[in-house]
Amino acid sequence: MANLALGAATTAAAELAADDSSSTGFFGWLFSSDGFHAPTVGEFYPPALLFEGTIFEFNRIELARVIAAAVLILLVWLVVRKAKLIPGRGQGVFEMLLDFVRVQIVEQIMTQENAKRFLPFLTTLFLAIFAFNITGVIPFINMAGTSLIGLPIVMAIWVYFLYLGVGVKTHGLGGYLKTSLFPAGVPKGIYILLTPIEFLQVFILRPATLALRLAANMMAGHLLLVLCFAATQYFFFEAAGAMKAMSTVTFAAGFAFTLFEIFVAALQAYVFVMLSSVYINMAIEEEH
């Protein structure tokens, strides 16, 4: 799996290296380069590991997701299993996370009663998104679970039906459509302009932007990292003379972007949950 994780450009290099000199073995493959390959969108369509060509097709992005989910559940289970009144170190960190979601995100948007109602789902969402995002910088996985659009779409659709359901439950079907499509306090003529925009907002743009923002960020992050490290590999092992020095620049960039991706992983989880809270709150409240 390690070689798969290094990305298409380097794996291609590996094959050629292996063909050229099979005697050099693993290091020959690791330290070889057959020219620079810019990463493509094909990065996100790795070969299937199982059930190729069926709906059950299982590739390494799915594997990354499974690992992220398993590790997340395991870690939280380890904390919760022996949760005590006086928290230990692990429980303290976990409680800080829960408090962060509650105080810094959800209670900033909603009243306390509403926050209490939606907090379990929003907390789960935050932790899950962060877990799926962070796999993008974890060695040997090197692929965010959210960088393939399917998972962001599933999460966005969940939030979509959640806020629609809450809106209809709170105001009734007609009431919800009226408050969301015909906002109060606007001259009647403006509705000709406003209502289609609001319709697009509520029914299409909100879930679409949720999913796209997350997926695009993680995709871009992955491509940036692959670009930096592929370039480093090329400059260091293949380029001659002064060009070799460029590898330090690209490596430093890769290092910086790795740190940046860790930040982005947390930031995107924050943004996703923050916006979900806002949408749910808009559906509950009468005026907006």
Partner 1 sequence: MTSLSQVVIAAEETTQNPLVPAPYDILWSTIIFVIIVVVFMKYLLPKMQVVLDERADKIEGGLKKAEEAQAEAAAALEEYTAQLTEARAEAARIREDARSEASQIVTDSHSRAADDAKRIVETAHKQVEAERQQAVVSLRTEVGSLAAELASRIVGESLTDDARQQRIIDGFLDDLDAQVSQQKAEG
**Least distance from C-beta 180 to partner 1, angstroms?**
26
Q: Which stretch binds partner 1 (CB under 8 A): 104-112, 124-132, 173-181, 229-237?
A: 124-132
Please name which of 172, 169, 168, 196 lies closest in space to residue 182, comparing C-alpha atoms. Answer: 196
CB 160 within 8 A of CB 207: yes
CB of 128 to partner 1, least distance (A): 5
Smallest separation, CB 133 to partner 1 (Å): 14
Q: Give the residue among 77, 162, 70, 69 at the shortest CA–CA distance from 121.
A: 162
- What the block records as the tokens of 97 is 């996370």
Residue 48's SS3 state is: strand
Instruction: Round the CA-based radius of gyration of the chain to a whole number and report it.
Output: 23
Which CB, 65 or 206, lies closer to partner 1? 65
Considering only 33, 43, 135, 210, the residue that binds partner 1 (CB under 8 A) is 43
Residue 123 engages partner 1 in binding (rule: CB under 8 A): yes
Q: Candidates 138, 149, 205, 267: give the one binding partner 1 (CB under 8 A).
A: 149
| 148 scored as a contact of partner 1 (CB under 8 A) | yes
Neighbours of 263 (CB within 10 A): 9
Between the alpha carbon of residue 80 and those of residues 74, 77, 88, the distances in Å are 10, 5, 11
* Shortest distance (Å) from residue 184 CB to partner 1: 35
Please state the closest distance from residue 7 (CB atom) to partner 1, in A.
9
CA triple 66-157-164, angle to 5 deg: 145
Hey, which residues between 74 and 103 contact partner 1 (CB under 8 A)? 76-77, 79-80, 83-85, 94-95, 98
E strands, the chain, are 48-50, 58-59
Please work out, in degrees rounded to the nearest 5, the angle formed at the alpha carbon of residue 269 by the alpha carbons of 265 and 274.
Answer: 150
Q: What angle in degrees, to the nearest 10, is found between the helix axes of 112-134 and 150-181? A: 150
Beta-carbon neighbour count of residue 163 at 10 Å? 25
Stretch that binds partner 1, among 37-45, 178-186, 193-201, 237-245 (CB under 8 A): 37-45
Stretch 11-30 residues interacting with partner 1 (CB under 8 A): 11-12, 14-15
Residues 37/9, Cβ–Cβ less than 8 Å = yes
Residue 58 is classified by DSSP as E
Min CB(39)–partner 1 separation in Å: 8
Does 72 help bind partner 1 (rule: CB under 8 A)? yes
Binding partner 1 by CB under 8 A: which of 21, 26, 57, 204? 57
Footprint on this chain of partner 1 (rule: CB under 8 A): 3-4, 8, 11-12, 14-15, 37, 40-47, 51, 54-58, 61-62, 65-66, 69, 72-73, 76-77, 79-80, 83-85, 94-95, 98, 120-121, 123-124, 127-128, 145, 148-151, 153-155, 158, 212, 215, 219
